[in-house]
Structure 1
């Protein structure tokens, strides 16, 4: 299959097609001719395109070195005068242009604005001898539905595309801290897929283009995996930060809701509070997650948005006590594929052999019920608003959009029925909290998905991430350093499906197809224990990789 076929966008009537094509052409025209890859390269791409930026000859050795840095290192070097903000954004901007051509990860490219912003920061640094804030000069990529002043964005449909007049709270805060904006990234129709296909096109996984980069922050994940960014901002209402990070071998955290600013994000169910989304960083190092959260918390976002809860990020010292870690091999609904089981078995063995770690086999508490409640609360209006937006844009519904609003989970509710549903949610949360306390866990290690990155249009089970959304437990995803290997990740004999969803998931597994896909794990902590989840993740990753 050609790159063009793999990255085909959503379709619709003639008006939709014309408008979608106009946005695609606008984006294509934003990529400078000097950064266009030769047709000979694009026609002969390998499945793994992560080495293209190094081999294509469009980046200098200095630019390649800059794009190897994580966000913390970038900011340290700029603060010491070892890098300028301008040369930094140029390096990442050039690499982002290359990344887009092989993965279709962008929706807006405005490097010229990023350079202008960087020049102002460099002038301030030269004049004052200090940085403007902790993110001074840091290029940050932004998911499409998060408004950046003067740039394009959408709420997942052609019918709600906008040229944003103002920054939202998040980008306003990041800009005040010194961040530089230069690209926005792709997301799926409805922003409710673990896939990223929109009217801009379908984003591919850089490690294996036959697989998805995930969703709904899949453009961010692909860009970060291609090192066209060292830090991006995503959002997560069912796994939309953790899923893409898992698919692409990255670090990401879904913070406890109402701790990070989300005011004025482009959305189409404002006021819906059955399941609350969260927003947070997607990164290439563990330390960058804490770096981002500390910087944003330090700006006191609750003074802008009174709906936010001003809970500071803790930094617990776990070196002085035993860490009690639960291991959840499966959720009782869907059995993970062999690569994920191999990673879980490895982490369990490593943690059991480590001092100051107490390992507990965790049996999940009625995840099937929790996931069913979650799905019902996503579209309490029976998906009517979603269908209306599709109709207004003349946009065909995509398979995963059709799936997410499919019965029996999606149904219309009147006010009383919504109260009853939310009451069931609250009782489930209480029962789960009581159950967790019996285990006495600090954190839980579990899969972020029932496999590695999946084939396109097949992500129909979100239970390994969405369950933590209904509970509002923070979750951190991190790479194990392992990759799917068909020589060892063979189908296991005697595994009987636990459910219809499990039967579907098991049928998807073919060891050869997933070759080279990164294997990531997820660390979960209780609500408002974001700092504990981050601290435990660093310890667990260090043990795994020792």
Structure 2
């Protein structure tokens, strides 16, 4: 007798629950409590030292304290594990929980440091969370598919191998949407992940579990993936930092995925953290272990200190940023515009230049993106779900029949096209990439620095922060950079304040989608939602993007400090 997909889910959930130490269970706040970021400090589970450790958001400082044995790897791992389990109980962000394995790893690192006086590597003792697609030997990896319950990894993904070599402690895996191809996080196996800033709102996706966990300070550094914004969307919606590298910079081999074989617009792995130091240290560490010797499509790209010093960008002394106020399709909600204005003012005050960046063929680029994604995705999803008969989710909404076809504002798609038609889309994509490169180069005429603009600053999405569950239906502002393969980082700016972000009078709408987005905004609905922006550099400019994001972040903090005086 075959086991039903619902029985598989029940067994998996029971096993997940059993993996949580009983003494770590708390009494969660009622559902009416929207902002739950303070629960770890209020619940009484963490000791004062564990709160000190987990409240240290600067990853560089955590590593320094580990290296001098001020904190042991066991202490740090245990502290973040407890906080991660608290986060699980209030926002449902975890999938795989393996406490004993992680603590055993931490003990090995402490023993090595005590015996040799040396750290194992640049990430010695640092707990790192991983999206539920980055395989760890002996653990299941479902990516939200019931049909992949019981699918145990026979080996670690290449990135996990490198993290172990670098001294890290992988300690939890985090929730994703079924198929990974949603900007929200819900599946039939583990359920829905909530936004800790406001649980009535989405945490984003597809690396939504990572975004929510890190916002709860349940992990100092995590790894997600991004094919259309899946690192940047959760980073921005949860108020943290994230990086989408160009193809091949971070090894992907050994991670599972949907739509495998579609290699025109590749998914990439990238870091999320509460600090930019975490983003930088991750990229430095991974590059140092030569992933190109372990992953056939990883690029030979050691960390480039000259690029980080912005030698091709005037040494960072006077940068020129192009700001996108809207993409020509959807006008952002008031808090996003306020964040853009604040960033522009901070950069001008810091001595940099800012020019308006007129979107160039953004609609064309996004349309070809969706068409490539959906050229065979339906068959791909069905090939997995038919193994158990689990439903393919057609919506992330809470009160709508999940099997119904729900209207959304994604751009037109096409399914099951011929190879020849796919080749035409790939040709169109390549032509658009060339045109955008030429457009960027021509910006030397408006930058005032004698070189093209150094980076673009753009909304991460048109929404006033995280939308209510099921309503995050546009990835246009992020997906374009995947198709162009530009490096992009997200940085937090502000959060929705109903007093500052009231509805504005109707503007001249750019189209029906723009009008629909205008109508959905209400500052009370989006209460406390973080607002992040993205900084986009050229292809393969990870070091420069990190450095320029540090400059923007410092300018914003200086402006905020001055405003408080």
| TM-score of the aligned structures, taking structure 1 as reference length | 0.94
2:44 matched residue in structure 1: 57
Gaps of 5+ in 1: 1-12
Deviation of the 1:407 alpha carbon: 8.4
Q: Which residue of 1 aligns with 2:163?
A: 174
Q: What are the within-5 Å matches in structure 2 for residues 74-473 of structure 1?
A: 74-161=62-149, 162-198=151-187, 199-313=189-303, 314-317=307-310, 319=315, 321-355=317-351, 357-381=352-376, 383-400=378-395, 408-439=412-443, 440-451=452-463, 452-473=465-486
Find out whether 1:501 has 2:513 as its counterpart: yes
| Aligned partners of 2:322 and 2:456 also within 8 Å | yes
Question: 2:400 — aligned with what?
Answer: none
3-state SS, counterpart of residue 264 of structure 2: coil
For the residues of structure 1 that align with 2:367 and 2:251, how far apart are their CA atoms?
Answer: 28
Q: How many residues align?
A: 530
Cα separation, 1, equivalents of 2:274 and 2:250:
20
Tell me the CA shift for residue 405 of structure 1. 12
What is the distance in 1 between the residues matched to 2:259 and 2:326? 32
- 1:182 CA drift (Å): 1.6
RMSD: 1.8
Q: Which moved more, 1:459-468 or 1:346-355?
A: 346-355
1:484 shift after superposition: 0.1
Q: Using a 3 Å threshold, how does the CA distance of structure 1 residues 113 and 405 change in structure 2: closer, same or farther?
A: farther
Deviation, 1:160, is 2.5
Q: Which segment is superposed worse, 387-396 or 412-421?
A: 387-396
Partner of 2:538: 526
* CA deviation profile, 1:289-347 (whole Å, cap 9, x unmatched): 11100000000000112322112333124556421110111111111111101111111
In the alignment, what sits opposite 2:449? none
Please give the secondary structure, in 2, of the residue aligned with 1:142: strand
Structure 1 pair 235/360, CA: closer, same or farther in 2 (3 Å)? same
CA displacement 1:451-501 (0-9 Å, x = unmatched) = 211111111110110000000001100111x11011121111131331333
2:387 is paired with a residue whose SS is helix
Tell me, in whole angstroms, the C-alpha distance in 1 between the residues paired with 2:32 and 2:112.
43
Runs of 5+ unmatched residues, structure 2: 397-404, 444-451, 559-565
Aligned to 2:447: none
| 8 A contact 1:382–1:405 mirrored in 2 | no
TM-score relative to the length of structure 2: 0.91
Aligned to 1:484: 496
Partners of 1:341 and 1:408 lie apart in 2 by 27
Q: 1:486 to 1:17 in 2, by over 3 A?
A: same
Per-residue Cα deviation, 1:398-445 (whole angstroms, up to 9, x for no partner): 233867998841322212111111000000100111111111211000
User: Helix, strand or coil: the match of 2:341?
Assistant: helix
Preserved CA contact (<8 Å) 1:193 1:400: no
- Map of 1:47 onto structure 2: 34
Q: Quick one: distance in 2 between partners of 1:274 and 1:499?
A: 30
Q: Does 1:516 align with 2:504?
A: no
Residue 7 (structure 1) aligns with: none
SS in 2 for 1:267: coil
Alpha carbons 2:143, 2:177 under 8 Å: kept: no
